[in-house]
A and B are shown apart, each in its own frame.
Chain A
């Protein structure tokens, strides 16, 4: 499909989407399932507040108030049509981009719905729920036949999983349990208590529980730009969670590069695997799991301490250790544009913190990555350590306006002749005429020197005006 016709289709899709959504409005599934306002669970969509985190942790159910009959009870009470409609949600994102490459060169691009996502989610039983995203990317970037190009795609989205509370199972094995509104918790009233453990299995995003939840940030990543089959410009993402290394490959046969800004490992946007997490005494959250990644898999452990929640001040810190076995491929020492035979292990560790005080929400993460198993021939030319820092602050100016700012710093690793560090400052204002609809304007500034050859640095400024029908 030619670029012009693609834009035409996208325009139509946007208009149709706009008209449809404007009349039928966005369909926030959980809001309708519980007749709740969005802001009960979100500081402002999509970022979760503490109640939203608890809601998520308990399998998308009001804490201590699971419907005893699960889906059957819902069907009996609401009927099949309302139950079906309440299980669905839609999200559309799109907008207008403008890049400034130099003071005189700008590029303006219309970004028709980047993503149209259909969500199907609800509790099935008091201890079991599911969540599935079906995603359409009209202008998604794909890598096929060793080339990048824009191509409309539809399929399973970032996340698709079951969440199961194992408390009852532990009870059967002898652990003391508490029945908390249909949800089984391990422990004894007045003593030890544990929410869960919950298992999330399928295509999961484990970092929802992290102090810096990658996929619940308000400043969304920009899109990858490609031109003539190659990467033209890398997206602006929270660099702390990026791949961070130049010159690596995802796999051997397809020769797909592992881009330095890809979100990987624990901080993936969604990956096949299983995640176990439990909240102990409402203070300590422990999490372990494994995820498939490229040709290997990675395991992780995360601990979060909720140190304070009083006087409108909440503070938590997290520590992460993440080991990836054979998750990336080193370049061929003799031909560094191609993947070699050696799969590398990656160790990721880091800390994150989140402070919420009144209308302010500040969160940051410092993440270190280290590679193991490099071929000897590459060692002198390859920096096998990298670090990323992301710090974001969101401030609610008034009920419908949230301003955000994020600073991202990348101390990149990888092939020394390709490696570039990055520093980006982003600011964003988001206007919510309704709680589930946001118009936003975002500006990102490259704080480093302009480097034409580097897809990380070949821009000075990016402006993105967009709309997000959120759920």
Chain B
């Protein structure tokens, strides 16, 4: 009974496979019609790199008359020669350029440019990829214009588009359309349509206890490189999306490296990971409203020595880590059963003998970061004010040595190395 249909289906699948392998989407059609914009205005819809991703223009800049006037002065002397006095990309020096200058009157094109992308372009000009490879002649202005001056010129350029109000994603949803599509496909089931962490998967994933999917609107993030209480930087979010989040439990099996409760999206192209993060950031306007970003510095890792691990043991005791994590680090300290997160949900203390379950990473620098930033929203505090960097490293190496059951420090060294 199966022979004939299978023969037919095998042939059909073979034909489809040949068709699939022989074809690729035409470049002009892949990922919307971005190439049309590139031909018109010279900008490619690529996300700003992480070092620029957090530089969002303060909302007031876009409409401040003083900033716009200052931007006009700069634009007239430095930009109009290519971009034109009217911002139409038809300045006298721009006509012959291989990659045409941006036309700021193109409402759709401007709407797609996120502020951090725009700032990156003004700062680095055409000296970075993918613009360099396409023959962009735009000079980098970061050495000649201050940050405020670059914002001012952007504010003036923005006026050509005719848009009133700040240039932010919630005014221009198209600027995060790709990220929103990825979010809808991969994230919404847990984090919910509105980013409140209220998708239908979460409650059954870990019922009535932590961890629950992150509520992006609350602005409380566990995994940061910023001080406790502050929003993370894009690179922090990128690390979480890339690595996923490990957890306790999981199947009784072999061959698993980590038991993730949030998948790793490391196979997603880097550009698309950044796109989805740009969309995720729109759930909390604080990313646009913070004026300064402070990062917890992670000094280079000192060598792990038996003495350091022994000192780390003392730090572990003095800092009362054992109260939650237990004497042997198994997460069975006297306070562990009573731990709750900010949402009043029971939360387990990390089992320090199982680095593969560390949610914020198990490399020495990851553990250091966790100690110094804390995990906001959980009982794990930041030790940035109470531990010196050297003490923190001692503790890091002691914690990592616990994965061998807290045996001799020398044994722990093997793990650390």
B173 and A190 contacting across the interface, CB-CB below 8 Å: yes
Say how far B209's CB is from chain A's closest CB, in angstroms.
7
Q: Hey, which chain A residues are within 8 Å of B86, CB to CB?
A: none
Interface segment, A48-56, A235-243, A369-377, A448-456? A48-56
B194 and A178 contacting across the interface, CB-CB below 8 Å: no
A189 and B254 contacting across the interface, CB-CB below 8 Å: no
B267 and A181 contacting across the interface, CB-CB below 8 Å: yes
Q: Answer whether residue A37 sits at the interface, using C-beta atoms and an 8 A cutoff.
A: yes
A310 and B194 contacting across the interface, CB-CB below 8 Å: yes
A436 and B200 contacting across the interface, CB-CB below 8 Å: no
Q: Hey, which chain B residues are within 8 Å of A314, CB to CB?
A: 199-200
B260 and A272 contacting across the interface, CB-CB below 8 Å: no
Decide if the interface of chain B is mainly helix, strand, loop or mixed. loop
B13 and A162 contacting across the interface, CB-CB below 8 Å: yes
**How many residue pairs bridge A and B at CB < 8 Å?**
256
Query: Contacting A312 at CB < 8 Å: which of B5, B202, B265?
Result: B202
Decide if the interface of chain A is mainly helix, strand, loop or mixed. mixed
New A-B contacts (18) at CB < 8 Å, excluding given A189-B180, A201-B9 = A27-B254, A34-B260, A35-B258, A38-B250, A40-B201, A40-B262, A49-B189, A51-B201, A64-B276, A65-B264, A156-B2, A164-B16, A181-B182, A272-B2, A309-B193, A396-B203, A399-B249, A434-B252
Q: Answer whether residue A302 sits at the interface, using C-beta atoms and an 8 A cutoff.
A: no
Say how far B23's CB is from chain A's closest CB, in angstroms.
4
Give a binary string over B175-190; 1 marks a CB under 8 Å from any A CB, 0 the rest.
0011011101110111
Say how far B30's CB is from chain A's closest CB, in angstroms.
5
Q: Hey, which chain B residues are within 8 Å of A86, CB to CB?
A: 255
Say how far B250's CB is from chain A's closest CB, in angstroms.
4
A67 and B32 contacting across the interface, CB-CB below 8 Å: no
B205 and A178 contacting across the interface, CB-CB below 8 Å: no
**What is the bound-complex CA distance between A166 and B17, given in angstroms?**
9
Chain A residues touching B, range: 35 or more
Q: Hey, which chain A residues are within 8 Å of B92, CB to CB?
A: none
B31 and A399 contacting across the interface, CB-CB below 8 Å: no
Q: Hey, which chain A residues are within 8 Å of B16, CB to CB?
A: 164, 166, 169, 199
Q: Answer whether residue A321 sits at the interface, using C-beta atoms and an 8 A cutoff.
A: no
Say how far B369's CB is from chain A's closest CB, in angstroms.
22
Q: Which of B23, B185, B186, B264 has the most CB of A within 10 A?
A: B185
Q: Which of A32, A64, A292, A433 has the most CB of B within 10 A?
A: A64
Q: Known A31-B250, A32-B253; judge A64-B182 contact (CB<8 A).
A: yes
Which B residue sits closest to A190, measured CB to CB?
B177
A169 and B30 contacting across the interface, CB-CB below 8 Å: no
Q: Answer whether residue B33 sits at the interface, using C-beta atoms and an 8 A cutoff.
A: yes
Which A residue sits closest to B24, measured CB to CB?
A168
Say how far A155's CB is from chain B's closest CB, in angstroms.
10
Q: Known A31-B253, A128-B17; judge A178-B5 contact (CB<8 A).
A: no
B29 and A180 contacting across the interface, CB-CB below 8 Å: no
Within 8 A of B (CB), among A247-305: 272-274, 282, 292
